[in-house]
């Protein structure tokens, strides 16, 4: 079986080739407009970006899809979910924190023309349980309730790298991003008997000098929301059997060499991401979930970190389809095919050539993780296929270039207004308006610095 992936490249040189227009063009080419019936509640799932991240999708993309949904008679809302803490100073861990961060990043009803919703409730416990007998590792998943309640979902994804997942595409947008907080603990292998951090990480208490020897020892205790870390006078204790894999202590532990992470923990999580993505599709309904990948600003890290590095490859384009495995595979293939960006991590890691895998060298927390793990799992469990047909979509013929809120030509719109509130001072300098030199040496400035030497 082969899935169709509708695609337009990232070049823009006219209104109809802007990335916003291309996103809607592939939306229509993929038939997403036929998915939405009048009255349908439509979730637009995206990542609203971490505090101070600058690589996340600009709100105009979600706004345009929301407008499109409304034009089809649907009731859109844009949403994201609460996170695990992930670091000692979490910024999206409650609905309140998420809304504050989202608004700072430009996501609000004012910009979107529809509500921005935290889909899993105040602390991430509003969810819908899905049985998953077909899952590779997960046999159940917990989907954010507002997403499970939607009639239709448009998954709007910024395709880029990810520290743990290696890639962050459609699968990760749902496999992590559509899970409630308790769903995220599940995907991250919290308390898992084999792959959980408590079971799989190698603990080196000898690398902690304790309260006497560590000036900033307090953060080691303060970063755990379950109080599982205890710094003693000369070492550290960890109640590993209760660890939920919230990852809040990850950096403090790794930077001191107290934890040695297991590759298996990340590999298992990557397989679970595909499982949880499938569970989300099941929750909304097969055939009711449409995927768009914006492969732009392709930094090595996810939008869940509080910065965005120089992209490792140039912008690649806009992809749409119903099969998230095929969609992410098509984007990943384009990244491999592309040449790396000079001055980026791709150059540092010497993966600049076309044909070379880039994310595996540039993005992960540890070497040895595969950028294809989520996709391979997705195919095994029947979420989608790695076999795809890339369908190039032609740019739309421009029949109407008018500004939608007022489509009249400017002469009609402004003639009366300019007469009343004249912006050009015709009454000054004999109708010439301004005090200016009549003639200057333009050649003198119309030159290059080198020519003057
Ligand atoms: S010990 Fe486990 S539960 Fe506590 S902060 Fe670390 S990862 Fe989270």
pLDDT in tens, 333-388: 999 999 999 999 999 999 999 999 999 999 878 888 999 999 999 999 999 999 99
Distances (CA, A) of 81 to 47, 363, 414: 8, 23, 45
Q: Are residues 212 and 284 in the same domain?
A: no
Segment (H or E) for 392: strand 388-392
Q: Is the Cβ atom of 258 under 6 angstroms away from ligand 1? A: no
Q: Are residues 169 and 310 in the same domain?
A: yes
Distances (CA, A) of 218 to 171, 199, 232: 37, 25, 11
**87 C-alpha to ligand 1 centroid (Å):** 10
Phi, psi of 436 (to 5 degrees): -145, 155
From the list 319, 324, 330, the residue with the least C-alpha distance to 379 is 324
pLDDT digits (tens, 9 = 90+) for 401-432: 788 889 999 999 999 999 999 999 999 999 99
Taking all residues of the chain, what is their mean pLDDT, rounded to a whole number?
96
Phi, psi of 193 (to 5 degrees): -65, -20
Q: Is residue 345 a contact partner of residue 300, using CB atoms and an 8 Å limit?
A: yes
Q: Are residues 31 and 137 in the same domain?
A: yes
Q: What percent of the chain has pLDDT over 70?
A: 99
Any domain includes 400 = no
Rounded Cα distance, 194 and 197, in Å? 9
Rounded Cα distance, 52 and 428, in Å? 48
Rounded Cα distance, 117 and 313, in Å? 32
Q: Are residues 22 and 117 in the same domain?
A: yes
Any domain includes 375 = yes
Q: What is the mean pLDDT of residues 112-124?
A: 98
The two tokens of residue 294 are: 């914006």
Q: What is the pLDDT of residue 98?
A: 97
pLDDT at 15 over 90: no
Q: What is the pLDDT of residue 96?
A: 98
Q: Are residues 80 and 122 in the same domain?
A: yes
Q: What is the pLDDT of residue 449?
A: 85
The two tokens of residue 224 are: 């755990």
pLDDT digits (tens, 9 = 90+) for 62-106: 999 999 999 999 999 999 999 999 989 999 999 999 999 999 999
Q: Is residue 101 a contact partner of residue 92, using CB atoms and an 8 Å limit?
A: yes
Any domain includes 401 = no
Range scoring the smallest mean pLDDT among 212-216, 309-313, 365-369: 365-369
Nearest CA to ligand 1 atom 2: 243
Tokens 């998230």 map to which residue? 324
Atom of ligand 1 nearest to the CA of 227: 4
Q: Is the Cβ atom of 247 under 6 angstroms away from ligand 1? A: yes
> Which residue(s) pair with 7 in the sheet?
319, 392
The residue from 243, 260, 277 where one domain ends is 260
Rounded Cα distance, 210 and 113, in Å? 53
The best mutation among 182, 229, 254 to test binding of ligand 1, ranked by most ligand atoms within 8 Å of the C-beta, falls on 229
Q: What is the pTM of this model?
A: 0.95
From the list 147, 373, 136, 134, the residue with the least C-alpha distance to 281 is 147
Phi, psi of 321 (to 5 degrees): 175, 175
pLDDT digits (tens, 9 = 90+) for 228-278: 999 999 999 999 999 999 999 999 999 999 999 999 999 999 999 999 999
Question: What is the CATH number for 172?
Answer: 3.40.50
Any domain includes 272 = yes
Domain that holds residue 364: 3-181+267-392
Q: Is residue 55 a contact partner of residue 303, using CB atoms and an 8 Å limit?
A: yes
Provide the domain count of the chain: 3
Rounded Cα distance, 118 and 404, in Å? 30
What distance, in Å, lies between the first and last C-alpha atoms of the chain?
65
Q: Are residues 144 and 224 in the same domain?
A: no
Q: Are residues 238 and 126 in the same domain?
A: no
Q: What is the pLDDT of residue 217?
A: 95
Atom of ligand 1 nearest to the CA of 238: 1
The best mutation among 199, 240, 247 to test binding of ligand 1, ranked by most ligand atoms within 8 Å of the C-beta, falls on 247
From the list 114, 66, 116, 110, the residue with the least C-alpha distance to 92 is 116
Q: Are residues 116 and 29 in the same domain?
A: yes
Rounded Cα distance, 107 and 118, in Å? 11
The best mutation among 238, 244, 265, 266 to test binding of ligand 1, ranked by most ligand atoms within 8 Å of the C-beta, falls on 244
Question: Which band of pLDDT confidence, cut at 50, 70 and 90, is reported for residue 116?
Answer: very high
pLDDT at 398 over 80: no
């Amino acid at each position: 079986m082969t899935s169709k992936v509708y695609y337009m490249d990232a070049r823009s040189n006219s209104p109809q080739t802007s990335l916003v227009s291309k996103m809607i063009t592939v939306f229509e080419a993929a038939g997403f407009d036929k998915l939405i019936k009048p009255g349908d509640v439509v979730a637009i799932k995206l990542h609203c970006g971490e505090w101070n991240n600058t690589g996340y999708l600009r709100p105009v993309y979600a706004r345009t899809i929301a407008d499109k949904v409304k034009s089809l008679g649907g009731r859109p809302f844009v949403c994201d979910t609460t996170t695990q803490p992930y670091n000692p100073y979490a910024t999206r861990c409650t609905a309140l924190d998420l809304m504050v961060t989202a608004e700072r990043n430009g996501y609000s009803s004012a910009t979107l023309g529809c509500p921005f919703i935290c889909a899993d409730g105040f602390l991430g416990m509003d969810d819908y349980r899905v049985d998953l007998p077909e899952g590779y590792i997960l046999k159940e998943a917990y989907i954010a309730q507002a997403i499970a309640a939607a009639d239709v979902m448009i998954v709007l994804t910024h395709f880029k790298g990810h520290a743990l997942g290696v890639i962050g595409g459609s699968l990760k947008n749902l496999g992590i991003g559509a899970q409630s907080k308790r769903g995220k603990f599940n995907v991250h292998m919290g308390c898992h008997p084999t792959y959980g951090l408590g079971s799989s990480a190698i603990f080196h208490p000898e690398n902690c000098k304790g309260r006497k020897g560590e000036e900033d020892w307090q953060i080691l205790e303060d970063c755990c929301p379950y109080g599982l870390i205890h710094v003693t006078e000369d070492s550290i204790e960890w109640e590993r059997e209760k660890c939920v894999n919230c990852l809040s202590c990850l950096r403090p532990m790794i930077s001191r060499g107290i934890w040695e992470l297991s590759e298996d923990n990340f590999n298992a999580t990557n397989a679970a991401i595909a499982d949880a993505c499938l569970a989300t599709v099941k929750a909304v309904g097969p055939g009711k979930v449409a995927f768009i990948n914006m492969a732009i600003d392709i930094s090595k890290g996810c939008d869940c970190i509080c910065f965005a590095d120089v992209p490792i490859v140039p912008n690649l384009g806009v992809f749409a389809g119903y099969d998230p495995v095929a969609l992410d595979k098509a984007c990943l293939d384009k990244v491999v095919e592309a040449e790396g960006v000079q001055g980026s991590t791709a150059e540092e890691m010497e993966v600049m050539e076309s044909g070379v895998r880039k994310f595996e060298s540039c993005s992960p927390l540890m070497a040895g993780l595969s950028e294809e793990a989520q996709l391979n799992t997705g195919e095994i469990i029947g979420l989608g296929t790695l076999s795809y047909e890339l369908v190039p979509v032609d740019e739309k013929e421009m029949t109407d270039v008018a500004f939608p809120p007022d489509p009249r030509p400017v002469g009609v719109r402004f003639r009366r207004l300019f007469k009343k509130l004249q912006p050009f001072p015709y009454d000054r300098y004999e109708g010439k308006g301004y005090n200016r030199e009549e003639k200057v040496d333009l050649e003198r400035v119309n030159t290059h610095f080198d020519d003057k030497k």
